[in-house]
A and B are shown apart, each in its own frame.
Chain A
Amino acid sequence: MKKILSYLIIIFLFNSQAISKISNKDEIEILKNIRCLVCQGQSIADSNSDFAQTIKLVVKDKIGEGKTKKEIYGFLISKYGEWIVFDTQINRKNFLLWFLPYLSLFFGGLIIFAILKKKREN
Chain B
Amino acid sequence: MLNNIGNLLIFLSIAVSILIIYFSIHSLKEKKKTINKKLFNLSLWQTTFTLTSFFALIIGFILSDFSLITVFQNSHSLKPLFYKITATWGNHEGSLLLWINVLVIFSFLFLVFNKDAEKKYRIYTLISQNVLIIGFFLFLFFNSNPFDLVVPTPKQGLGLNPILQDPALAIHPPLLYIGFVGSSIYFSAAIGSLLSSYEGRNFAKSIKPWVIVSWSFQTLGILVGSIWAYYELGWGGFWFWDPVENASLMPWFVMTALIHSLVVLQKRESLYSWVIILCLSAFTLSVTGTFLVRSGILNSVHTFANDPSRGLYILVFLSLMIFTALTIFFIKYKKENYSFNTNSKETYILVNNWFMAFYLITILIGTTYPIFTEALVNIKISVGPPFYNIVIIPLVVPFLFIMALAPKVKWISNKFKSSMNFFSIIALAILLNALIIYYLEPYSFLTNLIITSSIFLIIYSLLDLVNIIRKKNNFDLPRILSHLGFGFLVFFIGLNHSYSVDQDFNLKEGEKKEFENYVINFKSLNYEQYKNYKAVIGEFDLLNKKNLKQETLFPEIRIYNQPKTLTYEASIRTGLGHDLYLTMSNISRSEFYNIKFQKKPFMIWIWFSAIMISTGGFVRLFKNEN
Q: How many interface residues does chain A have, given as a range?
A: 35 or more
* Bound: A88/B361 CA distance, A: 18
* Bound: A3/B337 CA distance, A: 45
Q: Which residues of A contact B390 (CB under 8 A)?
A: 88
Report if B242 contacts A (CB, 8 A).
yes
In chain B, positions 488-513 with a C-beta closer than 8 Å to chain A are 502-504
In chain B, positions 517-538 with a C-beta closer than 8 Å to chain A are none
Contact B427–A40 (Cβ < 8 Å): no
* Bound: A41/B300 CA distance, A: 5
Select A12's contact among B366, B383, B433, beta carbons within 8 Å.
Answer: B433
Q: Which residues of A contact B350 (CB under 8 A)?
A: 112, 115
Q: Which residues of B contact A28 (CB under 8 A)?
A: 502, 504
Residue among A18, A31, A35, A87 with the highest chain B CB neighbour number at 10 A: A87
Select A87's contact among B301, B387, B395, B427, beta carbons within 8 Å.
Answer: B387
Closest-CB distance, A122 to chain B (whole angstroms):
6
Report if B342 contacts A (CB, 8 A).
yes
Q: Which residues of B contact A24 (CB under 8 A)?
A: 502-503, 515
* Bound: A83/B384 CA distance, A: 11
Report if B473 contacts A (CB, 8 A).
no
* Bound: A9/B426 CA distance, A: 10
* Bound: A26/B373 CA distance, A: 30
Which of B37-45, B112-120, B437-445 makes up part of the contact surface?
B437-445
Report if B576 contacts A (CB, 8 A).
no
Q: A15-B437, A85-B382, A97-B369 are in contact. Are A40 and B301 (CB under 8 A)?
A: yes
* Bound: A61/B450 CA distance, A: 35
- B-facing mask of A93-119, CB < 8 A → 1, else 0? 110111011101100110010011011
Contact B383–A40 (Cβ < 8 Å): no
Residue among B242, B347, B361, B385 with the highest chain A CB neighbour number at 10 A: B361
Q: Which 9 A-B pairs have the closest CB atoms?
A: A86-B384, A46-B235, A48-B585, A16-B448, A101-B362, A88-B386, A16-B445, A83-B380, A41-B300
Q: Which residues of B contact A (CB under 8 A)?
A: 233-235, 237, 240, 242-243, 299-301, 303, 337-342, 347, 350-351, 354, 357-358, 361-362, 365-366, 369, 373, 377, 379-387, 390-391, 395, 420, 423-424, 426-427, 430-431, 433-434, 437, 441-445, 447-449, 452, 502-504, 515, 568, 583, 585, 587-588, 594
Q: Which residues of A contact B (CB under 8 A)?
A: 1-2, 4-5, 8-9, 11-12, 15-19, 24-25, 27-28, 31-33, 35, 39-43, 45-46, 48, 50, 53, 56, 81-88, 93-94, 96-98, 100-102, 104-105, 108-109, 112, 115-116, 118-119, 122
New contact pairs (7) apart from A12-B433, A82-B382, A98-B391, CB-CB < 8 Å? A5-B427, A96-B369, A97-B366, A98-B387, A102-B391, A105-B395, A118-B337
